[in-house]
Amino acid sequence: MNPQVNVVVRSGYDQIDSLETPDDHTVVIRFRGLFPDYRSLFSSGVGGFILPAHLLESSRDLNNDPFDRHPIGTGPFKFKEWVPGSHITVERNPDHFAGAPNLDAVVFKFVPDTRQLATQIRTGEADVIQGFDWAHLELVEGIPGVAVHVTPGVIWEHLSFNLDHPLFRDVRVRRAIRAAIDREGIVRTLFQGRLQVATGDQAPLSWAYNPNIPVTRRDVALARRLLEEAGWRPGPDGIYQINGRRLSFTVSTTAGNRTRERLEQLIQQQLKEAGVEVLIRNYEATTFFGEVVPRRRFEAGIWTWASGTDPDDYYLWHSSQIPSADKPDGLNVVGWRNPEVDRLTEAARATLDREERQRAYWRVQELMDEDVPLVPLYYQADLAAARKDIRNFKPNPTLYGNLWNAREWWLSR
């Protein structure tokens, strides 16, 4: 692998031993060993893409190549134009291997303010919208000629702890924080009760999801009891203290994300009622995901992880994946070190037996429930709306997204 190319994760790709192209339509990939999740490595929306060598093999800097602004792929639509801050247009590919699409073109509009999405689909400026705010759900549902789709997906929101922070080294403190958070109440308040409270890192859509992990309901008395067992005592202002130190920590997330900011405020209030002080410091998304999270410069943070088509979670929880000078792109940013988790994630990668792998992933979820390296909050659902004259619009719960079958869309106008 080229260490000079900026990537989100190298896990999986570092298991590839060689690639060969015996003819124009065949790629032979040889792995160093068994790797069950091989399919996701070259799946659009989930892993990487096979790129055109004739355009890129002589590139001096793949991170800043003109190809990045004018890509060429193998999809049903071809890139036409990118107008920064406005839109991207793709046009019909008459030579697509599965047949040409029905639509002549698709325009992706950049709408930075999600409040405008409902207006644009109401006025006809947009035919399809996704990712609009839950606060606007009833408004969009009331627009004539528009169908709203709430699709449970594979993305899960969580409150992560930096386990190397002194405050979070005691599991009783982590369990107390979980006990003080009303996850069911959060779902009712923010999502009209339409989401499912999360219990682990595998989404209910996955065959690796463990249905036996209970939803821990809010129990402030339990939270206080756990803190006192750990040596904490209430201070004069109601916040717990130990040796003169307040039980206070900072939660960070992406600035400007109204749902997450409201989530922070709810957690802040709920933990205060249990004697825990929460401070809030948010960052622009590029800073949060480019610096704060990967370099573990947070005390606690709120963001999402997504379950892939395969439940392999080695890169999230194996102790070798904790970011370090030798492993700067590791994704175990919480710093979870559990020898049994290491063994389980290794074993699940070493077999194609689904039952054996399922047992391993179920046990990882049980250990997550016991160790509380983070607090799973809820499994997200994709919010999308499409005008009813867009035919064959079929929401997709996976990371492929709702454009997975755009080749089949057509207009009945």
The predicted model gives 140-161 an average pLDDT of 95
CATH of the domain at 157: 3.10.105.10
* Radius of gyration, CA atoms only, the chain: 23
State whether 61 and 185 are in the same domain. Answer: no
Q: What is the pTM of this model?
A: 0.86
Check whether residue 160 and residue 292 sit in a common domain: yes
Last residue in a domain, options 25, 52, 68: 68
Helix, strand, coil shares of the chain as percentages rounded to 5?
30, 25, 45
* Nearest CA among 161, 180, 202 for reference residue 379: 202
Predicted local confidence at residue 400, as pLDDT: 80
Please check whether residue 310 is in contact with residue 281, taking contact to mean a CB–CB distance below 8 angstroms. Answer: no
Q: Which among 62, 257, 260 has a CA at the least distance from the CA of 160?
A: 260
Residue 303 belongs to a domain: yes
Find the DSSP H helices in 273-353. 285-287, 314-317, 339-349
- Residue 406 located in a structural domain: no
Residue 268 covered by a domain: yes
- Please tell me whether residues 230 and 344 are part of one structural domain: yes
Task: Please identify, among 68, 84, 115, the residue that sits at the C-terminal boundary of a domain.
Answer: 68
Q: Domain for residue 298, yes or no?
A: yes
pLDDT above 70 coverage of the chain, percent = 98
Q: What is the DSSP string of 150-175?
A: EEEEEEEEEEEE-TTSGGGSSHHHHH
The 10s digit of each residue's pLDDT in 180-197 is 999 999 999 999 999 999
pLDDT at 112: 80
Out of 20, 43, 68, pick the residue that ends a domain.
Answer: 68
Say what the pLDDT of residue 47 is: 60
Owning domain of residue 303: 153-380
pLDDT of residue 279: 98
Both 58 and 159 in one domain: the answer is no
238 occurs within a structural domain: yes
For 233, how many CA atoms within 13 A lie in the half-sphere containing its CB? 4
For 32-77, how does the pLDDT look when each residue is reduced to its tens digit (9 = 90+)? 988 888 877 877 555 667 788 899 989 989 989 999 999 998 899 9
Same domain for 337 and 192: yes
Exposed / middle / buried, residue 64 (Cβ in 10 Å: 0-12, 13-18, 19+): exposed
Kindly state whether residues 165 and 22 are assigned to the same domain. no
| pLDDT tens digits, one per residue of 254-303 | 998 888 999 999 999 999 999 999 999 999 999 999 999 999 999 999 99
Report the pLDDT value the prediction gives residue 7, as an integer from 0 to 100: 77
Q: How many domains does the chain have?
A: 2
Q: Kindly state whether residue 109 falls inside one of the protein's structural domains.
A: no
d(CA 292, CA 251): 12
The answer to the question of residue 330 being in a domain is: yes
Tokens describing residue 68: 């990045």
Q: What is the pLDDT of residues 320-361, one digit of tens each?
A: 999 987 778 889 999 999 999 999 999 999 999 999 999 999
Q: What is the mean pLDDT of the chain?
A: 93
Does residue 231 fall inside a structural domain? Answer: yes
pLDDT of residue 44: 55
Same domain, 220 and 367: yes
Q: What pLDDT is recorded for position 288?
A: 96
CB 51 within 8 A of CB 62: no
Query: What is the rounded average pLDDT of the residues 122-141?
Result: 92
Q: Which long-range contacts (CB under 8 A, 24 or more apart) does 65-70 make?
A: none
217 and 317 housed in the same domain: yes
Q: What are the tens digits of pLDDT across the range 217-233?
A: 999 999 999 999 999 99
